């Protein structure tokens, strides 16, 4: 059942019309976001080493802050059965975060190896699932799985060359794709045919 939001006077249609109208008025924010993401992605592709190290450092800081927060909350929670477990998890997070921040180059190499393994496993699983289930459009999923596995294999086989730029390159590509998505969304929102509600007698 579909609702003609331009001709309907119901509360749902009015709410949808209001939200879509607001989005259309602010479409340029999505355009700006897309442009910024594309610029950041281009910079990451131009300087993949710095992008890789920066991403690893951000990950290390996040781990350290998460560990500190987990340790603090484990004491705030009081005496409960999981206090020791939460404390150990917090210490682990904090130590890992500190090690990553203290050795960013070595951490970049290790995380690149993790990324390669993740791509390889996810690609194989996606390919097997596509061949086994044969769901609609399974061929595209199979192609995606094969390409993902190949990317992981290439990164792993050439780890000594790819370790310091693979993460930054992948981040750059993802940012560019995300940027184009937001730009296309902004263009679509700008063309929304939202009209005024019909007059009631």
pLDDT in tens, 64-98: 999 999 888 877 765 656 677 888 888 999 999 99
Give the integer Cα–Cα distance in Å for 197 and 65: 51
The closest of 56, 62, 60 to 109, measured between CA atoms, is 56
pLDDT value for 1? 42
- The pLDDT value recorded for residue 43 is 94
Q: Which residues of the chain have pLDDT under 70?
A: 1-22, 77-82, 192-201
Cα separation, 64 vs 39, whole angstroms:
29
Q: What's the confidence (pLDDT) of residue 120?
A: 92
Q: Tell me how many helices (H) and strands (E) the chain has.
A: 8, 0
- CB proximity list for 189: less than 8 A, separation 6 or greater: 23, 24, 27, 30
pLDDT at 2: 45
């Amino acid at each position: 059942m579909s609702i003609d939001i331009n001709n309907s006077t119901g509360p749902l249609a009015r709410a949808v019309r209001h939200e879509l109208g607001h989005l259309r008025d602010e479409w340029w924010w999505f355009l700006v976001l897309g442009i910024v993401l594309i610029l950041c992605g281009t910079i990451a592709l131009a300087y993949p080493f710095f992008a890789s190290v920066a991403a690893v450092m951000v990950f290390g800081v996040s781990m350290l802050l998460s560990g500190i927060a987990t340790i603090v909350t484990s004491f705030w929670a009081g005496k409960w059965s999981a206090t020791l477990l939460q404390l150990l998890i917090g210490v682990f997070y904090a130590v890992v975060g500190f090690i990553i921040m203290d050795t960013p180059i070595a951490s970049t190499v290790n995380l690149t190896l993790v990324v390669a393994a993740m791509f390889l496993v996810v690609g194989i699983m996606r390919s097997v699932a596509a061949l086994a289930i044969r769901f609609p459009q399974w061929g595209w999923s199979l192609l995606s799985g094969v390409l993902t596995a190949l990317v992981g294999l290439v990164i792993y086989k050439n780890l000594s060359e790819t370790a310091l730029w693979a993460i930054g390159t992948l981040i750059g590509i993802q940012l560019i794709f995300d940027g184009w998505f937001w730009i296309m969304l902004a263009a679509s929102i700008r063309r929304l045919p939202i009209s005024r509600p019909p007059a009631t007698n």
